[in-house]
């Protein structure tokens, strides 16, 4: 397991370097290098020796929870990988990297046609993977379960239907409230170098350990982990709007502190990861939205921001908070507000379903994307960069995973409901710049467990509940009712 972990970490480090530092001419050779290592990793994870050892250990009755979970995960992955031909796995790994680099160029040139054939091949790889496991009719069934163990498309559709209905009702109330807040109210001149320093101070205060991490810049913010001693994240800055970098930094910090605070006992095992995509997103979105968009967070951080940025000098807290949380109808997911973000994700999930069911082809994809955006958000993307090309996920092979963001929101509803009972003055503490109690609560109840538990098991352990959108819907209604006086 240690050998597997080290090889995986080498691949991850090379992938991080590709996104942050790689010279353009090195892209092809780097892709071939990672493909070679991926094939070696595949061989280790599917070796007869590993299977034999896991079979022996799985029959033991006195395994501790870590050993039992590690054996279970290893056997599950063995089965998953042995059902996928090695050549197909290697080809996919290489195609991922090439397509992601091509996406960067296509997005910069606003040219979907450049990416179309490679993107179609990405979806075809996922279809082939699903077929290896017997999911011939609907690959989304496998993709959903692969990202969130125990989740099904039926369960997900019910959660999304309820959430979509409630978000659109709330959105209509806001539109009819007669109150309009302008996000551009806090736009101004924010020197990039000062943003870098502010974001660094902010994430340190909130709990990020720079002795075990980095904060760099990339075209699309992401976080990366080897083990808990090497957790790296990236953000991106905009000179006219420092909230883009601020909120992206808080988001990636949530992923990163999750990884920095797994139990030491999990190092070098297959459990030194988050429980699932959805649980990882719950931690990133908890820091970005529940904490980072709260008024109390800016009670503490706005005075600090004013020492960095002159254009904030005369802005009052309430005006800043309302502008920060203004419902901002726009075609870009990463620029959206907390409320309509959910609709952006549901659009992507529905399009993925349409692709795999054959309802839409890749020539039609930009138009389908634009029509759905207009239907749900009332705005139409002006071009490919604002529409189909805005996200890296499909190009990098993360197909059938967008739902994780909204699942993370729903987990956050449960977490917030629970944590407020145990730390009633949570937000008052945030207003004083005190994050220790919240940080330690998340660490104790969620972070230390890594991937020992299945998603549903962890939620039950933390809250005693089953996943539902109701707590999150209540949070949204309460927050936006106060802001828009509904």
- Active-site amino acid positions: 252
CA quadruple 257, 403, 269, 250: dihedral, nearest 10: -10
Residues 451 and 273 sit within 8 Å (Cβ to Cβ): yes
Helix or strand or coil: residue 162? helix
Question: Would you call 393 helix, strand, or coil by DSSP?
Answer: coil
- What is the distance between the alpha carbons of residues 207 and 461, in angstroms, rounded to a whole number? 24
Residue 76: which H helix or E strand, with range?
A: helix 65-82
Which two tokens mark 15?
């992938």
8 Å CB contact between 210 and 204: yes
> For residue 320, how far is the Cα from the chain centroid?
26
User: In the block, which residue shows the tokens 């006195």?
Assistant: 62
Whole-number Cα distances in Å, 367 to 318, 331, 385, 388: 40, 13, 13, 9
Q: Per residue, what are the HEC states of 237-276?
A: CECCEHHHHHHHHHHHHHHHHHHHCCCHHHCCCCCCCCCC
Instruction: Extract the tokens encoding 343.
Output: 């609709």
> Distances from the Cα of 182 to the Cαs of 237, 324, 337, 382, in angstroms?
20, 9, 12, 21
> 338: Cβ–Cβ under 8 A, 6 or more apart, which residues?
289, 293, 325, 476, 479
- SS3 state at 468: coil
Give the CA angle between residues 87, 88, 91 to the nearest 5°. Answer: 85
Residue reference for tokens 């003055």: 425
For residue 235, the surrounding DSSP H or E stretch is: strand 231-235
Strands 213-217 and 223-225 come out as unpaired
Q: Which of 202, 207, 199, 200 is nearest to 259 (CA)?
A: 207
In this structure, the chain runs to a length of 486
């Amino acid at each position: 397991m240690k050998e597997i972990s080290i090889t995986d970490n080498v691949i991850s480090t090379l992938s991080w370097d590709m996104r942050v530092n790689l010279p353009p001419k090195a892209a092809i050779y780097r892709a071939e290098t990672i493909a070679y290592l991926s094939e070696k990793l595949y061989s280790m994870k599917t070796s007869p020796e590993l299977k034999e050892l896991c079979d022996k250990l799985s029959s033991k009755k006195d395994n501790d929870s870590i050993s039992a979970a590690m054996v279970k995960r290893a056997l599950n992955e063995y089965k998953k990988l042995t059902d996928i031909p090695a050549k197909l796995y290697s080809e996919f790994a290489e195609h991922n990297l090439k397509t992601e680099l091509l996406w960067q160029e296509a997005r910069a040139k606003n040219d979907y046609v450049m990416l179309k054939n490679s993107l179609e091949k990405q979806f075809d790889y996922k279809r082939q993977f699903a077929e290896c496991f017997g999911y011939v009719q609907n690959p989304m069934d496998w993709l959903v379960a692969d990202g969130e163990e125990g989740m099904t498309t039926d369960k997900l559709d019910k959660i999304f239907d309820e959430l979509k209905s409630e978000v659109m009702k709330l959105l209509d109330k806001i539109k009819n409230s007669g109150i309009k807040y302008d996000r551009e109210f806090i736009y101004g001149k924010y020197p990039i170098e000062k943003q870098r320093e502010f974001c660094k101070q902010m994430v340190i205060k909130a709990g990020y350990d720079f002795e075990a991490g980095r904060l760099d810049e990339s075209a699309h913010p992401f976080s990366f982990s080897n083990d808990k001693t090497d957790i790296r994240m990236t953000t991106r800055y905009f000179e006219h709007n420092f909230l883009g970098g601020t909120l992206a930094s808080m988001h990636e910090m949530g992923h990163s502190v999750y990884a920095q605070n797994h139990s030491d006992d999990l190092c070098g095992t297959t459990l030194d990861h988050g429980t699932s995509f959805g649980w990882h997103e719950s931690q990133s979105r908890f820091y970005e939205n529940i904490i980072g968009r709260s008024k109390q967070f800016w009670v503490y951080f706005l005075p600090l921001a004013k020492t960095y940025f002159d254009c904030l000098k005369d802005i009052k807290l309430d005006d800043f908070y309302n502008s920060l949380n203004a419902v901002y109808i726009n075609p870009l997911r990463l620029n959206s507000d907390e409320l309509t973000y959910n609709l952006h994700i549901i659009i992507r999930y529905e399009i993925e379903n349409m692709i795999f069911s054959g309802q839409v082809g890749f020539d039609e994809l930009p138009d389908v994307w634009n029509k759905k955006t207009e239907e749900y958000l009332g705005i139409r993307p002006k071009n490919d960069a604002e529409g189909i090309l805005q996200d890296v996920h499909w190009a990098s092979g993360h197909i059938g995973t967008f739902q994780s963001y909204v699942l993370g929101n729903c987990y956050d509803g449960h977490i917030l409901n629970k944590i407020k009972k145990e730390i009633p003055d949570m937000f008052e503490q945030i207003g004083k710049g005190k994050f220790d109690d919240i940080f330690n609560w998340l660490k104790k109840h969620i972070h230390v467990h890594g991937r020992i538990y299945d998603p549903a098991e962890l939620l039950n352990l933390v809250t005693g509940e089953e996943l539902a959108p109701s707590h999150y819907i209540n949070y949204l209604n309460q927050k936006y009712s106060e802001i828009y006086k509904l």
